[in-house]
Structure 1
Amino acid sequence: MRADPIQRAIDEDLVRVLYAQDPIAFFSHWFSIAVLVGIYWPTIPSPPLFIACFSFYAATNCASLALWICNRRYPQLVSPRGWIYLHALRGVLLYSMPGIAVWFAFQSPQTDLPLLHTVMLVTLAAGVFMSNGFDLLNFSTAIPFLLFPSIVLHFGSHTFDRTILAIVLAFFFCAINVYALSYRKLFRQVVQARVDQQYLAESLAAQKHVAEEASLAKTRFFAAASHDLRQPLHAIGLLAASLNDAAATPTQHAKTAEHIVYNVEALNQLFNQVLDLARLESGVTQVIRLHFRLSELFERVGSQYRPQAAAKGLALRIAPTTMVVHDDPVLLERVLSNLLSNAVRYTEEGAIWLGFRRAGRSSGGYIEVRDSGIGIPVEEHERVFEEFYQVANPQRDARQGHGLGLPTVKRLVGMLGGELQLRSAPGRGSVFRLPVQAGEVGGIVASLNEAVAGGPSAQGRHVLCIDDDPSILEGLSSLLGRWGCSVRGARDEVDALVALEEGFVPDAVLCDYQLANHRTGAQALAAVRNVLTRAGHDNVVTLLITGDMASAELAALALQGIPVLHKPVTPARLRRTLEMLWQQAELDKGRAVATAALRATPEDDAAQSALVKAGVESSAANPLTRETGRQSQPISPQSEPQK
């Protein structure tokens, strides 16, 4: 993964270094031409060849300067590797001339010319080592053309002095190649260290940018959240103080109380929206995919928003479809509810359309929500998915929502493995599209609109409540008592174990997550389950209740299928959850009995198989209940959607 960037960085550095030496090389080669012409001038062997050779040498030297100028002015003309190849070609042409010209020394009657010419070649070779030694291609195309002709001619002279000189030249050639190899390794290490440092600096800069963006987003989030939370609190305080006004009439008191209730509902709604976002961010929300008919889900959400649309004179049209999808109906219902609520809120006339389109997909397709509302400018398409941002509500009127719906929708669609698409323009309405996967008709186990089979009620149940807050224990005891339950309260894990030792056998254990003495509800539930299992009571329902949203342990518990309710928990939601868990426990017990009977009496396989199948189908009823492992978790309350 890192080889290409490093090699490119090496190539870029090679180009800079190679061409940086060319002006010096240009004057060095003119000096070499002048010296060689000077020593050969008295007796020039083969004048036509000599003139042609040195003219080509001079022309090549001028061409190398032109190449240097071109690189300086047009560095993007070719790639770094291309500039290296051009420089190597320049080296072949430039250094072959003085290397081949040594032949004139052996043709001259002056016996000292071969030695003088060889000294000049060694000098040029030293310059090649300094300027081109860190690149194999440029070095290997210059040195051989420079030294090989001289080595061959000295060996071919068959004299002792020339042979010794040829051996020395060969040794010099080998040595300079060895040193050049070390030179190249060092150069690569230096460049790699620089690249690593550059990557580290870029990574740190990116992380710093992300941290700064996260800090700014967090600041904006808390600023907007604190404003929207303070507004109803401030109103409630003023309204509550006005109730003490003795001069106020009963009608005024009733109106004030009505305003207080309205602000309390708005505060609770905003609080639930923030908690929903926190749940999504913390990873405790589970995705449970089922096969179901999309038309049933459309009918569920359509029945919720038809009255609101009709009250504004809008037509809510739902396109009929026979599509079966494989997705999470709970999360998908929350997405569509948010989008439809947005469409109703921001559409004043016209219609809202909900339907399914194939859109060219061979498997699955897209759910679309269209409206003829105010629309969203193109430059705002990204910002509408930011928390507390609203296009058409600069005064932050709470009646227009709080700007948390679309951020929630985008996160939910991302959890489902898709990408939310938006197409909108001012005055032309909006279209939201999200992908769904095709399901199988044979995989449908129940209708989404099917009521949960009548399960066991809370009457006569024994419930163990573990919480270190006395007021919460008192509230739970009072609530469960009104349902007909027998309740035993425990302040911590020790009190709970004492209650079990005294013979209290619970049908359900409700436990807070954060307990005293640095203990957690997960630890307390594990200890209680161990004691109950040893006593033969392994079908006891357990339920964890917490206000924590970001604990890693909570995310792990959610993955294990342990039901977790997040505060605030309404009485209706608590009862619904308990009844579902008790129903699931009895179905599990029935399946275990049926399986044991099957093993004991194999001749009655058909009847027992029917019993087990009936138990499985019953447990699968109402898939809009969160089934996690052996226990169930009810649908979360829907967030109020906002643009």
Structure 2
Amino acid sequence: MRADPIQRAVDEDLVRVLYAQDPIAFCTHWFSIAVLVAIYWGDIPAPHLFVACFTFYAAANCAGLGLWMFHRRWPQAVAPRDWINLHALRGVLLYLAPGASIWFAFHSSHTDLPVLHTVMLVTLAAGVFMSNGFDVINFATAIPILLLPSIILHLSAHTFDRTILAIVLAFFFCAINVYSASYRRLFRKVVEARVDQQYLAESLAAQKLVAEEASLAKTRFFAAASHDLRQPLHAIGLLAASLNDPLATPSQHAQTADHIARNVEALNQLFNQVLDLARLESGVTQVIRMHFRLSELFERVGNQYRPQAAARGLALRIAPTTAVIYDDPVLLERVLSNLLSNAVRYTEDGAIWMGFRRSGRRDGGFIEVRDSGIGIPEREHGRIFEEFYQVANPQRDARQGHGLGLPTVRRLVLLLGGDLTLRSAPGRGSTFRFPVQAGDPGRIVASLNDAPVPEISSTRGRRVLCIDDDPSILQGLSSLLGRWGCVVQGVHDEAQALRAIADGFAPDAVLCDYQLANHRTGAEALQAVRAALLRHGHTQTVTLLITGDMASSELEALAAQGIPVLHKPVTAARLRRTLEMLWQRAGRGAGQDTGASGGAGGGADSGEAAACDTLPHS
């Protein structure tokens, strides 16, 4: 997988090594020309061939210098491998003349010239080994041209001393090739080690940059969140102080209380949005897919936002569709709700359109939400998915939202396995689009708009065991459940819960906080409570964990097992809806199989209850 980057690094280093030696080689070859001409000057065999040979040698040497200057001036003109091949071609031309010039030594009247000329060639071969030995092409094209003619001519002399010299030259030829091969392997290992270090350094630098960006994003997130959280808290504090004014009239008190309630609702909405993001980031949000008619989901969401759109003079148009899709309707409803809420908020006149398009897909299609609003400049397309960022709200007016809707939408679409795309321009509105998978009409089990008829219509008379080490939360739960007609037993820890069961309290439901005193978790407490209930013959008790934690490996494991978990803050409506659903499923399971253990909060039914935590906030 990394062979190409390593080979490129090897080629780049080879180019630097090869061309770095060329100025020295240029001087060396001129010196070689001068020495050979001086040796033969007194007795030049075949003068015309001699002049032609050494003229060619000089021209090739100058051409090599020209190639070096061209590389120095335009190093990026060709690829590294092409520079290497050009250098090898230069080597063929440069060493052809000195290699062939040994012929003049064997045709000279001086008998010692062949040996002297051979020494010169061996010296040049040593230079080739030092400068070109790291590249197989440059070495293989230079060394044979230099040495093979000498070896052949010495062997053809048929004398003892020439034969010995030929054998020595052949041995030198083989040895220099072996050493060159080992040098090439060493060179490659050095380059590979350098590339690995460079790759590691780049990886560490990238990870450092990601960490720094994450830290900066977290800082921005907390800065914006603290601002938006402090605003309603500050208003609530001032309004609460004004309630103590003895001169205030009852109508003023009522108006102040109404303002407090609105700020509390805004604070709760912001908390819920932040916690939604935290749940998505922590991985505890479950995707529960089913086959359903998309028109029913469009109708649900449309009915929710038509009054808001009409109040702003906008038309909300929903394209009719007969499509059946296979997806999580709860999470998909949150995506569409956020997109429509955003469209209503930032559209001053015109219309909002929501519909389904096939767009050539056989296995599904795309859901689109379009508006005729203010639009988004292209430079802002990436930033609008950052938490607390709003293009048209620089004053951070909470009435225009908090900038968490689109980040939530993007994470939900990614969780569902799709990709959210945006087309928008200032003054031309915005279009958000994401894919959905086709469903099977034959596998639709119920309508989304059919409200379930619970087998247990009331909580009155239900016995509930509450486990929480916070006295104020325990008191609040006891008061709320008591108003619903429940018989409540509140305990602070696992030991008190087991004691209550041993004393004869048989709960229909057990509510337990996740973080308890003495380093115990709610999961451990519920396990002990369920075991005690089974020993006393109580098999239809449902269990429910309530937690403020967002990122816990145990919570992820519980979510994967389908164990019901509600995340704080939990509204009264959500708590009641979840309890009634758990009791309904437990009763239905008991009717089918009296020995089933699903009533204790396990199995697929509890998975449905767990999914209640992903419904829009009540």
Shift of 1:628: 5.5
- Find the counterpart in structure 1 of residue 54 from structure 2: 54
User: In structure 2, how many angstroms separate the alpha carbons of the residues matched to 1:176 and 1:222?
Assistant: 68
For the pair 1:636 / 2:614, whether they are aligned, the reply is yes
Q: How does 1:232-247 map to 2 (within 5 A)?
A: 232-247=232-247
Q: How does 1:433-448 map to 2 (within 5 A)?
A: 433-448=433-448
C-alpha distance after superposition, 1:426-455 (max 9, x if no partner): 222111111111111012111110111323
For the pair 1:518 / 2:523, whether they are aligned, the reply is no
User: In structure 1, how many angstroms separate the alpha carbons of the residues matched to 2:483 and 2:256?
Assistant: 31
Q: Which amino acid aligns with 1:633?
A: A
User: In structure 1, how many angstroms separate the alpha carbons of the residues matched to 2:462 and 2:193?
Assistant: 70
Whether the 8 Å CA contact 1:466–1:493 is kept in 2: the answer is yes
Shift of 1:559: 1.2
Q: How does 1:37-52 map to 2 (within 5 A)?
A: 37-52=37-52
1:151 to 1:529, Cα distance in 2 relative to 1, 3 A: farther
- Find the counterpart in structure 2 of residue 614 from structure 1: none
- Find the counterpart in structure 2 of residue 603 from structure 1: none
- Find the counterpart in structure 2 of residue 82 from structure 1: 82
- Find the counterpart in structure 2 of residue 382 from structure 1: 382
Shift of 1:261: 1.3
- Find the counterpart in structure 2 of residue 208 from structure 1: 208
For the pair 1:164 / 2:164, whether they are aligned, the reply is yes
- Find the counterpart in structure 1 of residue 344 from structure 2: 344
Unaligned runs of 5+ in 2: 597-603
1:627 to 1:169, Cα distance in 2 relative to 1, 3 A: farther
User: In structure 2, how many angstroms separate the alpha carbons of the residues matched to 1:633 and 1:528?
Assistant: 23
C-alpha distance after superposition, 1:405-432 (max 9, x if no partner): 1111111111111111111122221111
- Find the counterpart in structure 1 of residue 550 from structure 2: 549
User: In structure 2, how many angstroms separate the alpha carbons of the residues matched to 1:581 and 1:443?
Assistant: 24
1:475 to 1:98, Cα distance in 2 relative to 1, 3 A: same
- Find the counterpart in structure 2 of residue 495 from structure 1: 496
- Find the counterpart in structure 2 of residue 106 from structure 1: 106
Q: Which amino acid aligns with 2:526?
A: L
Shift of 1:355: 0.8
Q: Which amino acid aligns with 1:165?
A: L
User: In structure 1, how many angstroms separate the alpha carbons of the residues matched to 2:613 and 2:381?
Assistant: 30
Secondary structure of the residue aligned to 1:422 is strand
Choose 474-483 or 319-328, whichever is displaced more. 474-483
1:416 to 1:153, Cα distance in 2 relative to 1, 3 A: same
Q: Which amino acid aligns with 1:513?
A: Y
User: In structure 2, how many angstroms separate the alpha carbons of the residues matched to 1:10 and 1:628?
Assistant: 60
User: In structure 1, how many angstroms separate the alpha carbons of the residues matched to 2:148 and 2:200?
Assistant: 46
User: In structure 1, how many angstroms separate the alpha carbons of the residues matched to 2:617 and 2:342?
Assistant: 12
Shift of 1:278: 0.8
User: In structure 1, how many angstroms separate the alpha carbons of the residues matched to 2:328 and 2:284?
Assistant: 15
Whether the 8 Å CA contact 1:292–1:447 is kept in 2: the answer is yes
Q: How does 1:12-161 map to 2 (within 5 A)?
A: 12-161=12-161
User: In structure 2, how many angstroms separate the alpha carbons of the residues matched to 1:535 and 1:146?
Assistant: 100
User: In structure 2, how many angstroms separate the alpha carbons of the residues matched to 1:360 and 1:39?
Assistant: 84
Choose 499-508 or 21-30, whichever is displaced more. 499-508
User: In structure 2, how many angstroms separate the alpha carbons of the residues matched to 1:310 and 1:34?
Assistant: 99
Choose 499-508 or 123-132, whichever is displaced more. 499-508
Whether the 8 Å CA contact 2:561–2:607 is kept in 1: the answer is yes
Unaligned runs of 5+ in 1: 596-625
- Find the counterpart in structure 1 of residue 581 from structure 2: 580
C-alpha distance after superposition, 1:500-537 (max 9, x if no partner): 33343333221111111111111222222334445554
User: In structure 1, how many angstroms separate the alpha carbons of the residues matched to 2:101 and 2:402?
Assistant: 87
Q: How does 1:309-348 map to 2 (within 5 A)?
A: 309-348=309-348
1:418 to 1:246, Cα distance in 2 relative to 1, 3 A: same
Secondary structure of the residue aligned to 2:109 is coil
1:82 to 1:534, Cα distance in 2 relative to 1, 3 A: farther
User: In structure 1, how many angstroms separate the alpha carbons of the residues matched to 2:605 and 2:62?
Assistant: 82
In the comparison of the two structures, how many residue pairs are matched? 610
Q: Which amino acid aligns with 1:419?
A: D
User: In structure 2, how many angstroms separate the alpha carbons of the residues matched to 1:305 and 1:437?
Assistant: 25
Whether the 8 Å CA contact 2:285–2:614 is kept in 1: the answer is no
Whether the 8 Å CA contact 1:581–1:632 is kept in 2: the answer is no
Choose 125-134 or 102-111, whichever is displaced more. 102-111
RMSD over aligned CA atoms reads: 1.9
Shift of 1:637: 4.8
User: In structure 1, how many angstroms separate the alpha carbons of the residues matched to 2:467 and 2:393?
Assistant: 45
**Structure 1: 4+ residue segments shifted above 6 A:** none
Whether the 8 Å CA contact 1:134–1:187 is kept in 2: the answer is yes
Whether the 8 Å CA contact 1:405–1:639 is kept in 2: the answer is no
Q: Which amino acid aligns with 1:63?
A: A
Whether the 8 Å CA contact 1:545–1:567 is kept in 2: the answer is yes
User: In structure 2, how many angstroms separate the alpha carbons of the residues matched to 1:639 and 1:415?
Assistant: 19
User: In structure 2, how many angstroms separate the alpha carbons of the residues matched to 1:515 and 1:560?
Assistant: 22
Q: How does 1:562-577 map to 2 (within 5 A)?
A: 562-577=563-578
User: In structure 2, how many angstroms separate the alpha carbons of the residues matched to 1:538 and 1:166?
Assistant: 100
For the pair 1:473 / 2:474, whether they are aligned, the reply is yes
Q: How does 1:603-622 map to 2 (within 5 A)?
A: none
User: In structure 1, how many angstroms separate the alpha carbons of the residues matched to 2:146 and 2:534?
Assistant: 90
